[in-house]
Every structure is written in structure tokens, then in C-alpha cells.
């Protein structure tokens, strides 16, 4: 479990809790021992696994091929070695969307490395293209195996991407969101013209788009909070903000605690999601439950699965910086419209409550256990 503590880590902790509560013995296999103090600080959660097994330490290389190396060591070499000790193995964080586990929950958008940041430039595109070719070759080989893991993914949007990439359908199981922890915030009416983004701070999240939007909005403050996964991304974003003269209107709060996050959610009017290929978007749901109007890019699961591609029903989708800025200006100056949308979006957020995930993952695991025992 990484130190970034994003949606993948939340799902892992929630899965362990659900299975333990259902009476199952659960070990957690990781590449790096979990920082339990930080987990408690960020999420107010405890790790309840019976045992934490640390295997091959994560090999950090200055290359996108680092994931492939770690995938080979953990998911391909180690998993078959350890499978005999357990009735079922569940992988909630595959480095590549395939492994020898019994169940694989695919949370990331397949092929995302080629889609963002420097990998869009000509030289880096060629560099990352070989990664894509190699990954597709590996996936092609494994897809021909007779015994494949059950594939689960986090949205209809990502389900289509998985099917396109792996030529196999995946079950859709929305990830857990502790919606009830935020509903009380939706009752707070005294809000400022704040546009909030909660995101892992790395190149894949499109945070460099925010200064472009902020420059087109005169009377709103933009706040970014989240775990720092890339110091170079944080430093680059800070330089861009300074260069644009937006230091007073674009604020970054790195590695914010749960208390700080809730304080921001209590004050803001708008939740802004930036990623163009977001596979789900837990923080979008948290924003909706807290009484914020969500603005999301017109692509990805926040638009397809959460807002149901219905502009103005639960929130809005935007296509570029100009359309996003225009929507922000409308929402922050029209309290009647904002109130109508936040009421509907708060109700929509209840469809993603963590208890639904807990029930579904336990049912799925127990079905697989029965199936394995019958063979």
C-alpha cells in the first residue's frame, strides 16, 4: 500500500474491513509496509488485516517501465507461489490489468501512461508507445490462458475501456464512498466563491489546467488539496501559478488531513474535476454529498457514471477552459440554481454509499469461494 493514500488504498482498506466483518481471515500483501499513523490521519481508518505480508520491495525506476518490472515480480512470479496458502486471492491494485490472482479489481484507465503530461510530446510518445506495444503483447498472451481471473472494475466508462483493451467484459462494482460522513456539510449555506479540487498531485490528473481556468474567472478562489505523488508536478504547478500572477487565487494544500478537507468542503461552492480519463472519481461524490456543484470534464466516469451525461441535473460537464470558466461564473452568481442542483446531486451521491460496495464485494467473494470449493 503506497504512501499516497488515494482511491486505490481506500478501496483496499474497505475491502479488508468488509471481508473481516463477514467472518473471513484476511492477509494483506504489499510491496511496502503500510504507514498506519498516516492512514489514520488521512482517513480516520485502521488497517484490520490479520497479517501484513511484505514482498518484493517496490522498485522505483526513472521510467514508465518500473510498473512492468514490479508487475512481473509481484503479480506474475509471487502470486502463483503464495496462492496455495489461501482459498482466494484478490488484487485491488494491479500494476498491469492482468495477474494470476483469482479476482482483479481494475481501478485505472488502461493505457493511461500514454495519455497525459510529457507523454503527449513526440519524443516521449515514441518512448511510451513501446510500453503500450509490450503491454498489449503480454495481455494478448494471458488472454489466451484457460484460467483467467474474474475482472471487476469501478465504472461503466472504465468497463468499456477494459473490454477494448483486454477483449473481456468486467463486472461493474462502484468503489466505496463514505457518503454519510459528508452529508451534514451539505446543510451549511454560508459559502464563499471557492472552487475546490481534491486530487492526487501527479501529472496524470490534469491539475496544470487550473491556472488556465482561474485566469478566466475574476472573483473566485481555486483550492487544490491532495496527496503529493510527484514533487516535480507540485513544483511545476507552483511555478505556473506564480508566473501567471495567481498566487492569491490558486492555493495548493499538499497532503491535507481529513479535517482540512472537510473544512474546505464546508466553504466551497463548486467541486472541479480535471482528469480527462478518470476511471471513477471518489472525491466528486464527496463533493456532491457535501453540497458542492460538480464540474467534470465531458469524458470519464464522473461524466458517464456519476452525472449520467445530463447537464444541469446533478452538475455540469465542460469541454475546455473557456466553457469551464463560464459555468463557474454562472454557478457562483446564481444561488437559486446552485441550491437546486446541490439538492439533486446530494441525493445522487447516496447511490455510491460504501455499504453498497461492502455488501457486493462480500457476495462476490463468497460466490467465488463456493465455486472454487465445488471444483
Q: What is the mean pLDDT of residues 139-147?
A: 74
pLDDT at 350: 96
Neighbours of 31 (CB within 10 A): 18
Q: What CATH homologous superfamily does 179-351 map to?
A: Glycogen Phosphorylase B; (3.40.50.2000)
Is the predicted pLDDT of residue 4 greater than 60, yes or no? no
Is the predicted pLDDT of residue 112 greater than 80, yes or no? no
pLDDT at 135: 78
Q: What CATH homologous superfamily does 7-176+354-374 map to?
A: Glycogen Phosphorylase B; (3.40.50.2000)
Do the domains 7-176+354-374 and 179-351 sit in the same CATH topology, yes or no?
yes
Q: What is the pLDDT of residues 55-96, one digit of tens each?
A: 877 777 667 788 788 888 888 888 888 888 999 999 998 877
Is the predicted pLDDT of residue 53 greater than 90, yes or no? no
pLDDT at 120: 65
Q: How far apart are the first and last CA of the chain?
A: 32
pLDDT at 114: 55
Ranges of beta strands (E only) in the chain are 27-30, 51-54, 90-91, 103-106, 150-153, 171-172, 194-198, 221-226, 250-254, 270-272, 293-297, 316-318
Is the predicted pLDDT of residue 301 greater than 90, yes or no? yes
Find the angle CA(348)-CA(343)-CA(323) to the nearest 5 degrees: 85
Whether 291 and 348 have beta carbons less than 8 Å apart is answered as no
Which residues contact residue 340 at a Cβ distance below 8 angstroms, ignoring those fewer than 6 apart?
Answer: none
Q: What is the pLDDT of residues 148-164, one digit of tens each?
A: 899 999 999 999 988 88
Is the predicted pLDDT of residue 2 greater than 60, yes or no? no
Cell 496544470 found at:
208
Backbone torsions φ then ψ of 222, nearest 5 degrees: -110, 130
CA dist., res. 55 & res. 73, Å (int): 9
Nearest to 305 by CA among 90, 178, 153, 151: 153
Is the predicted pLDDT of residue 185 greater than 60, yes or no? yes
357 by Cβ neighbours in 10 Å (0-12 / 13-18 / 19+) ranks as buried
What's the number of CA atoms in the CB half-sphere (13 Å) around residue 144? 5
Neighbours of 188 (CB within 10 A): 12
pLDDT band at 116; cut points 50, 70, 90: low
Q: Is the dihedral of CA 222, 209, 234, 277 positive or negative?
A: positive
Mean pLDDT, the chain, integer: 89
Q: What is the pLDDT of residues 333-349, one digit of tens each?
A: 999 999 999 999 999 99
CA dist., res. 96 & res. 79, Å (int): 14
Give me the numbers of helices (H) and strands (E) for the chain, helices first please.
14, 12
| Conformational region of residue 105, where left means phi above 0, alpha means psi within -120 to 50, and beta covers everything else | beta
Supply the DSSP symbol for 34. -
pLDDT at 305: 97
How long a stretch of residues is the chain? Answer: 375
CA dist., res. 55 & res. 71, Å (int): 12
Q: Angle of helix 122-142 relative to helix 156-166, nearest 10 degrees?
A: 80
Lowest mean pLDDT, pick from 4-8, 163-167, 268-272: 4-8
Q: Which helix (H) or strand (E) holds 359?
A: helix 354-374
Domain residue ranges of the chain, discontinuous segments joined by +: 7-176+354-374, 179-351
CA dist., res. 272 & res. 57, Å (int): 35
Amino acid at each position: 500500500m503506497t504512501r499516497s493514500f488515494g482511491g486505490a488504498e481506500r478501496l483496499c482498506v474497505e475491502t479488508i474491513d468488509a471481508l473481516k466483518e463477514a467472518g473471513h481471515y484476511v492477509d494483506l500483501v504489499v510491496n511496502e509496509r503500510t504507514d498506519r499513523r498516516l492512514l489514520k490521519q488521512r482517513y480516520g481508518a485502521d488497517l484490520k488485516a490479520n497479517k501484513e505480508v511484505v514482498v518484493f520491495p517496490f522498485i522505483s525506476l526513472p521510467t514508465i517501465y518500473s510498473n512492468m518490472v514490479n508487475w512481473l515480480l509481484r503479480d506474475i512470479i509471487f502470486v502463483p507461489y503464495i496462492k496455495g496458502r489461501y482459498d482466494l486471492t484478490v488484487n485491488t491494485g494491479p500494476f498491469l490489468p492482468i495477474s494470476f490472482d483469482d479476482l482483479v479489481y481494475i481501478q485505472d484507465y488502461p493505457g493511461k501512461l500514454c495519455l497525459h503530461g510529457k507523454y503527449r510530446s513526440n519524443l516521449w510518445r515514441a518512448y511510451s508507445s513501446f510500453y503500450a506495444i509490450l503491454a498489449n503483447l503480454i495481455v494478448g498472451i494471458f488472454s489466451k490462458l484457460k484460467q483467467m481471473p474474474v475482472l471487476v472494475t469501478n465504472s461503466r466508462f472504465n468497463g468499456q475501456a477494459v473490454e477494448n483493451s483486454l477483449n473481456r467484459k468486467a463486472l461493474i462494482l462502484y468503489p466505496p464512498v463514505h457518503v454519510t460522513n459528508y452529508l451534514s456539510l451539505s446543510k451549511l449555506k454560508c459559502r464563499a466563491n471557492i472552487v475546490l479540487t481534491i486530487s492526487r498531485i501527479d501529472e496524470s490528473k490534469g491539475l496544470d489546467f487550473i491556472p488556465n481556468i482561474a485566469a478566466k474567472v475574476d472573483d473566485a478562489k481555486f483550492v487544490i488539496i491532495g496527496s503529493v505523488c510527484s514533487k516535480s508536478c507540485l513544483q511545476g504547478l507552483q511555478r505556473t501559478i506564480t508566473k501567471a500572477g495567481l498566487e492569491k487565487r490558486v492555493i495548493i494544500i499538499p497532503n491535507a488531513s481529513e479535517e482540512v478537507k472537510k473544512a474546505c468542503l464546508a466553504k466551497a461552492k463548486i467541486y472541479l474535476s480535471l482528469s480527462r480519463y478518470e476511471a471513477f472519481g471518489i472525491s466528486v461524490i464527496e463533493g456532491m454529498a457535501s453540497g458542492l456543484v460538480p464540474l467534470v470534464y465531458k469524458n470519464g466516469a464522473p461524466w458517464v457514471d456519476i452525472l449520467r451525461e445530463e447537464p444541469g441535473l446533478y452538475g455540469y460537464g465542460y469541454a475546455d477552459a473557456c466553457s469551464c470558466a463560464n459555468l463557474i461564473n454562472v454557478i457562483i452568481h446564481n444561488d437559486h440554481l446552485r441550491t437546486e442542483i446541490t439538492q439533486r446531486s446530494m441525493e445522487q451521491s447516496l447511490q455510491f454509499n460504501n455499504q453498497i460496495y461492502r455488501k457486493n464485494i462480500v457476495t462476490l467473494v463468497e460466490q467465488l469461494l463456493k465455486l472454487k470449493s465445488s471444483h
